[in-house]
Amino acid sequence: MSSLSQILKEHGTLMVLDASSERIQTGLLSTLTSPRWACRNDDAGVGLFACLDALHFEIGSVDAFAYCEGPGSILGIRTSAIALRMWNVLRARPMFAFMSLAVAAQAVGRRDVSLIADARRGQWHRLRMGGVLERVPTAALAGELMMPEGFRHWQPPPPATALTSYDLGTFLTLSSVMAADLFRETTAPDAFLHEEPTYAKWGSQIHRAP
């Protein structure tokens, strides 16, 4: 795992993509200039590329990429991952994945707070600062809970859940976030899964009525 400070020191110019929430966020971070961000509330397939157009830059000028691998919108995350794979076909560059809840938890800065996001089917993603991402049933959620703004949910969060900001442009300027080892280098960007999906085997036997 690497920190943002380390990545910028080693690679110079970093593009950040995050399509995990309703608010698409893209940023250009550099050791030589101030960070530049563009955000859109739109579908990932539209919002992501609208953000990139708004930044007015050449993909060839980027030395490394970072993207959110989850939890969050699987469609948005995979849209980002496909874009990264395409750009790296043109020219291979280092790619780093980060967790939305890990960055948010580090920004909140409290180990007694659980950051959560909907995992569907009565399950929630849960992570505390410095901890490991878990998937737990609603009944297992206890203590102080926070959910990042703009994250879709298909079931009501626990009643005491507070909303917290999910603004990468602010988070990634915090010294506590920049110094934390939150970024994992990868050669195959994709959406995070707790485990690989399993599929029922198809049987060729014809079913007949008794």
User: How much is the pLDDT for 206?
Assistant: 63
pLDDT classification of 203: cutoffs 50, 70, 90: low
Position 148: which residue type? P
**Which residue matches tokens 């593009």?**
15
Axis-axis angle for helices 44-55, 74-90 (nearest 10): 50
Q: What percent of the chain has pLDDT over 70?
A: 92
pLDDT classification of 121: cutoffs 50, 70, 90: confident
Report the pLDDT averaged over residues 176-180.
Answer: 96
CA–CA separation, 114 vs 146, rounded Å?
6
Q: Set out the domains of the chain in order of their start, with CATH numbers.
A: 2-99+166-186 (3.30.420.40), 103-164 (no CATH)
Please write the tens of the pLDDT for every residue from 82-113: 999 999 998 999 999 999 999 999 999 999 99
DSSP state of 203: P
Q: Are 177 and 99 in contact (CB under 8 A)?
A: no
The model's pTM: 0.90
Of the candidates 116, 149, 126, 119, the residue with the CA atom closest to the CA atom of residue 39: 149
The torsion of the CA quartet 174, 84, 41, 100, rounded to 10 degrees, works out to -40
CA–CA separation, 187 vs 135, rounded Å?
25
CA–CA separation, 77 vs 70, rounded Å?
7
| Greatest Cα-to-Cα distance within the chain, rounded to the nearest angstrom | 76
Please write the tens of the pLDDT for every residue from 123-170: 999 999 999 999 999 999 999 999 999 999 999 999 889 999 999 999
**Does residue 22 carry a pLDDT above 60?**
yes
Please write the tens of the pLDDT for every residue from 26-62: 999 998 899 999 999 988 889 999 999 999 988 889 9
